[in-house]
Structure 1
Amino acid sequence: MAFDPSKDKVLKTWKCEETGLIVTINQYGEGEPKVQIGPRILMKKDGTERAPAKAGRLSVEDIMWFYDIIDEVKEELTDLAGPA
């Protein structure tokens, strides 16, 4: 079974303005919603966004930001996943 991009949905997105790190909740078809860390979208000097890049290794700033939003991510994921 081949990957079908039309079945891949982004349900919720958070972006760290400081580091460009993106955290999303995604769902493929009717599958279980899951958290994805990355990509990273940095800004050009002219203020426009560069092409997305892999998140790579996380900095202290990335971890502190993720720590600040983790409860919100967990609640959203739990709500989207429904009863276990």
Structure 2
Amino acid sequence: MAGYDPEKDKVLKKWQNEETGLIVSINQYGEGEPKVQIGPRILKKKDGTDRAPAKAGRLSMEDLMWLYDIIDELKDELTEHVNPLD
């Protein structure tokens, strides 16, 4: 069995919270089932450029409220990529 192949790892849709840097995405590996990923978190340096990605860690109330705001769009987008007959 072959190992991980980055060519097969696809980001189908991505959202980023501009305030907290939290990223939520729909990802699919090869022909596998699309899944939601929470994280990483991209924080800003003082000069405004992006820092290296960090683990999402614990979610703040701001993160949670943002997730609540996008959850219907996230669900609809995931539904488009998942075969409902499975």
* TM bin (shorter chain): over 0.9
Q: Percent identity?
A: 77
TM-score (norm 1): 0.97
SS state at 1:42 partner: coil
Tell me how far 1:83 sits from its aligned partner.
2.6
Question: How many residues are paired up?
Answer: 84
Partners of 2:27 and 2:68 in 1: how far apart?
20
Tell me the distance in 2 between the aligned counterparts of 1:42 and 1:24.
Answer: 17
Question: In structure 1, how many angstroms separate the alpha carbons of the residues matched to 2:10 and 2:84?
Answer: 20
Amino acid at match of 2:73: E
Q: Which residue of 1 aligns with 2:57?
A: 56
Shift, 1:82, TM fit = 2.8
Q: CA RMSD in A?
A: 0.7
Residue 4 in 1 paired to residue 23 in 2?
no
2:83 is the counterpart of 1:66: no
Give the partner amino acid of 1:60.
M
SS of residue paired to 2:50:
coil
Tell me how far apart the structure 1 counterparts of residues 81 and 45 of structure 2 sit (CA, whole Å): 35
TM score, norm. by length of structure 2: 0.95
- The separation in 1 between residues aligned to 2:80 and 2:11, in whole angstroms, is 15
Q: SS where residue 17 of structure 1 aligns? A: coil
- The runs of 5 or more residues in structure 2 that have no matched partner are none
Q: Secondary structure at the match of 1:18?
A: coil
Tell me how far 1:77 sits from its aligned partner. Answer: 0.1
